[in-house]
Amino acid sequence: MKKIKSFFKGVSKEAKMVRWPDGKTLVKYSCVTIVLLVFFGLFFTGLDGIFSLIPRLISWIGGLF
């Protein structure tokens, strides 16, 4: 029981030392995160679309000969 008490005392002490961002910084970082998520989502969707076209392109080229 003493170890558990000591653990939570340590957690409380560390939590008091955390420097939380102000509202302006929080909004800025949140916007950057959302923009990057949308960018990479579209990027990987585009790559998936390109890779799904490769088998069709290969069969189309094969049909030419």
Residue type, 61: I
Using the structure block, give the residue that is written with the tokens 């955390």.
18
In the structure, what pLDDT confidence band is assigned to residue 6 with cuts at 50, 70 and 90?
very high
- Cα-based angle 27, 45, 36 (whole degrees, multiple of 5): 20
Q: What is the mean pLDDT of residues 19-45?
A: 97
Give pLDDT, residue 63. 77
Q: What is the mean pLDDT of residues 30-53?
A: 97
How is residue 44 written in tokens?
């990987």
H-only helix segments in the chain: 2-17, 23-64
How far, in Å, CA of 35 to CA of 43, rounded? 12
pTM: 0.63
- Cα-based angle 5, 7, 13 (whole degrees, multiple of 5): 105
